[in-house]
Structure 1
Amino acid sequence: MNKIFIIEDDVRIREELSTFLNRYGYESLFSINFENIIEEALKEKPSIILLDINLPYFDGYYICREIRKHSDVPIIVVTSRDSDMDELMSINLGADDFITKPYNTQILLARISSILKRVYGVSRGEILEYRGIIYNMAMSEVTFNNNSLELTKNESRILNILINNNGKIVSRDEIMKTLWQEAEFVDDNTLTVNVNRLRRKLEDLGAINYIQTKRGQGYILI
C-alpha cells in the first residue's frame, strides 16, 4: 500500500484529506509536531508528501528544500497561495507538482496516481484524466466539473479504452473484443447502445461532443 504523508496544519482539511485518501486505498499519515516535521515525514518513508506552504515554525518552501537534501520522495504542494511565483518557487525547490485550494479531489487523485506511475511504475486506483474528465476505474466513476456519475461495467471499459487511445479512432471490433472477448457472438447493436449511454452520461455532466462516431471505422475521444 502506498503511503502518503500529509503536512497540513488545518485540522479539518487534514482529517478530510486523510479520510478521502484512505477511502481510495492509500495509507495516509501525518504529524502535528511541526517543529520537527521534516524528521517526522522522512521517518515514515512515504511514497508521496502532500505539503502546505503556510505552516507553523517553518514554511513549506523551507521544508521542501530541506527534504530534498535527504530524499527524492515526490512532493505535491497543496496550498491556497495561487500566484505564479508560489508555483515557480515550489517547482524550483524540488516539488513535483503544485495544486491550489480549493481543489477538485478527483484531480488530486489523478495527480497522485500519475506521479506514482511515473516514479514507481505503479498506479493506485487507476485514475485517468483527459480534458477535464476524471475517470476512476476502481470506483467505476466519471467526474467532470466537480459532478460525478457511476458507470456500468461496460461503460467503464469503453471509457477506459477510449481515454487510453484518445485522439485515435478505436474500431468497433477492438472495443467489442475488450468487452466481450468473443465479439462474433455479440449483437453489434449492443455496443452502439452502450456507447450511446456513456455519451449521454458525459453530456449530462457537461462534457459535450467528447465521443464522436466515425462511420464505418469506430469511435474517437477528442
Structure 2
Amino acid sequence: MEYKIMLVEDDASIAKLLSSHIEKYGYKPIIVNDFDRILDIFIEENPHLVLLDINLPRYDGFYWCRKIRQISKIPIIMISARDSEMDQVMGIESGADDYITKPFYYDVVIAKIKSQLRRCYGDFAPGVSEERRIELEGLTLYPERPELHFNNNSTVLTKKEAVLAETLMRMSPRAVSRDVIMEKLWDDQAFIDENTLNVNVARLRKKLQEVGIDDALETVRGYGYRLNVTWRK
C-alpha cells in the first residue's frame, strides 16, 4: 500500500529534497504550492500524513494544524527553524504528533514518518492485536488497521473513513441519518459543516470502488445514507 505524504513547506529546495527522500522510501509525496488552499488540498488529496512547516505565508503552521485537526486525526509532523520550547509546546497543543527542528537529517525525518505511520495504520495501531473484524456480504472491515477488503482487493482507510464504514456496515441495509453519522465522526460538531460530511462520504465511495464495489453507498434524500451490498449475493 502506497502511503501519501503531504508536504507543506514554502522553501522550494527543502520541499524538493524531502519529496525525493519520501519517494525513495516508497511513499507518494504531495507538494503544496498554493498556501492559501492548504485545507482544500488536504481534503482533495486525502493524505495519510502531513509534514507541516510553521513559517508559512499569510497563516502559520499552527493555524493550519488546528484546521486539519477539526476534520482529521491523521499524523501531523511539524517542521520549523524555531527551536524554542514554547514553539514546540504550541505545535503539540495545536494538534501536532511530532516536532522537528531545522536543520535536520533527512533520514531522521523518514524515521519519524515511518514511526507515525506504524502507530496510526500499522503494527502499533491501537487494538490491532485484537484484530476486530466487521463483515457484510463478503466485504470485510478491519477498523483498527484500518483496512477494507473485498474478494482479493484491499485498500487503506483514514480513521474517519473507517468509522463511517463501520457505522454503515453495522446498520445495513437500514439507512443512517446524517445527524447520527456526524455524532460518530466528530465529538464537537460546532465547526463541522455539511460539506465536510459530503467529502467523507465521497471518499468512502471511492475506497469502495477501489476494492470492486460500485454504487453500494446510497444517498437517502432528506435523511442520510445507506450501505446496500446485498445485491452482490
The equivalent residue for 1:133 is: none
| Paired residues of 2:52 and 2:78 also in contact (CA < 8 A) | yes
| Paired residues of 2:4 and 2:27 also in contact (CA < 8 A) | yes
Per-residue deviation, 1:122: 5.4
The equivalent residue for 1:55 is: 56
The equivalent residue for 1:91 is: 92
- State the alpha-carbon separation in 2 of the partners of residues 72 and 45 from structure 1: 12
SS across alignment from 1:21: helix
- State the alpha-carbon separation in 1 of the partners of residues 87 and 27 from structure 2: 28
Give structure 1 regions of 4+ aligned residues with deviation exceeding 6 angstroms. none
SS across alignment from 1:66: helix
SS across alignment from 1:98: strand
- State the alpha-carbon separation in 2 of the partners of residues 42 and 98 from structure 1: 23
Please list every run of 5 or more consecutive structure 2 residues that lacks an aligned counterpart in the other structure.
125-233
Q: Which amino acid aligns with 1:45?
A: N
The equivalent residue for 1:4 is: 5
Residues 78-105 of structure 1: CA distance to partner in whole angstroms, max 9, x if unpaired? 1111110010000011100000011111
Asked which structure has the greater RCO (Cα within 8 Å, sep 6+), the reply is 2
Residues 97-154 of structure 1: CA distance to partner in whole angstroms, max 9, x if unpaired? 000011111111111111111110159xxxxxxxxxxxxxxxxxxxxxxxxxxxxxxx
Residues matched between the structures, number? 123
| Paired residues of 2:74 and 2:120 also in contact (CA < 8 A) | no
Q: Which amino acid aligns with 2:110?
A: L
Residues 4-63 of structure 1: CA distance to partner in whole angstroms, max 9, x if unpaired? 000001111111111111011110002211111111123211110000000012100000
SS across alignment from 1:90: helix
The equivalent residue for 1:108 is: 109
- State the alpha-carbon separation in 1 of the partners of residues 17 and 74 from structure 2: 23
- State the alpha-carbon separation in 1 of the partners of residues 32 and 90 from structure 2: 24
- The TM-score with structure 1 as length reference comes to 0.54
- The TM-score with structure 2 as length reference comes to 0.51
Q: Which residues in structure 2 correspond to 1:40-189 (within 5 Å)?
A: 40-121=41-122
| Paired residues of 1:7 and 1:49 also in contact (CA < 8 A) | yes
Q: Which amino acid aligns with 2:18?
A: L
SS across alignment from 2:70: helix
The equivalent residue for 2:19 is: 18
SS across alignment from 1:6: strand
| Paired residues of 1:116 and 1:122 also in contact (CA < 8 A) | no
| Paired residues of 2:51 and 2:77 also in contact (CA < 8 A) | yes
Task: Using the aligned pairs only, state the percent identity.
Answer: 45
